[in-house]
Amino acid sequence: MMSGGGYSSINNQNVSGSVPAVSGSDEVALKFSDSDLQTFPPGEAQGKISGSYRPPTDADDTFSKPASGSGGEESQPSGWFSVFTVAAYKPYFDVDTSDVLERIRDSLVPFRGNFSERTVHNPDLYGPFWICTTLIFVAAAIGTFVTYIAHKLQKKDWSYDINLVTWSAGLFYGYSTIIPLGLYLILKYFSVPSGFVQLLCLYGYSLFVFIPASCLSIVPIEIFRWVVAGVAGFMSACFVALNLRTHIKSAGERWFLIVAAIFLLQLALAVVLKLYFFTITVGSN
């Protein structure tokens, strides 16, 4: 109300609908939890993607399960139905660039034999997938290139062979999946603790050495190509065999035969890679 050209004070407590002011003694103090901005995610989270999911610690568990305390999330299918959920594969892509590079370096130093122990709690499929995919296109592309150069040097007609990509994909995807699966079943038969995903991880990284080997095969010297293929196959075979030797020893007296078969299969892969992709036959046309 206006009184005498000015404003009269209004008692807030007597006005209907007004909100009374909070007295100083009843003030609510707000506190924010401290955060460590130097580390992401926070220290209490397990893994780099989410604290609710992480790779299994039991070697016999093939797929991950939600951690306890995640009741607020939607329930995930249990048992073998979890194979068809994204959450089942999420932990195996829980790696960053530094992890992948470190594991690639380990695969190039095969005589350490500690790759399985270092990845037992966090085997990944991200690195193996991209290593295998890269190798498919590198082998097909360089195989095509060296064939083209050989034909042009002899002034022969050349045509592109699309089957190189098809056979390359079948060879490397099939090898990196079927061989670990077969080995997993054999180790299960002998009651040897093993994890299928960990075997996929080991075999996937063992193929990396064939990428630089394929690049070196551009050199048009046949004996040099055989040496490169042999060295790459030997390194890959040692990497797989030495990392599995300790675990396979518990299979009894036959452990040596299993390790020898693993070693020879890796060498055979190198021979197939050399013969199919880098053995040049120039026609008479």
pLDDT-wise least confident of 66-80, 84-98, 127-141? 66-80
Band the pLDDT of 27: cuts 50, 70, 90: very low
> Which pLDDT does position 208 carry in this prediction?
96
pLDDT tens digits, 131-187: 999 999 999 898 888 888 887 877 878 777 788 888 899 999 999 999 999 999 988
Q: What is the mean pLDDT of the chain?
A: 76
Residue 202 has φ and ψ, to the nearest 5°, of -60, -50
8 or 248, higher pLDDT = 248
> Which pLDDT does position 79 carry in this prediction?
62
Band the pLDDT of 37: cuts 50, 70, 90: very low
Residue 3 has φ and ψ, to the nearest 5°, of -140, 115
Residue 37 half-sphere exposure, CB side, CA atoms within 13 Å? 0
Q: Which residues pair with 3 in a beta bridge?
A: 6
**Rounded distance between C-alpha atoms, residue 133 and residue 141, angstroms:** 12
pTM for the full predicted model: 0.69
pLDDT at 38 over 60: no
Nearest of 161, 173, 100, 183 to residue 135 by alpha carbon: 173
Secondary structure of 129-178 in the HEC alphabet? HHHHHHHHHHHHHHHHHHHHHHHHHCCCCCCCCCHHHHHHHHHHHHHHHH
Q: In this structure, are residues 110 and 236 in contact, taking their beta carbons and an 8 Å threshold?
A: yes
**Rounded distance between C-alpha atoms, residue 218 and residue 280, angstroms:** 11
Q: Tell me the average pLDDT across 66-82.
A: 51
Share of the chain above pLDDT 70, in %: 68
278 or 81, higher pLDDT = 278
> Which pLDDT does position 121 carry in this prediction?
86
pLDDT tens digits, 180-226: 999 999 888 888 888 899 999 999 999 999 999 999 988 888 899 99
Highest mean predicted confidence (pLDDT) among 45-49, 210-214, 273-277, 280-284: 210-214
Q: In this structure, are residues 211 and 137 in contact, taking their beta carbons and an 8 Å threshold?
A: no
Q: Tell me the average pLDDT across 58-63.
A: 42
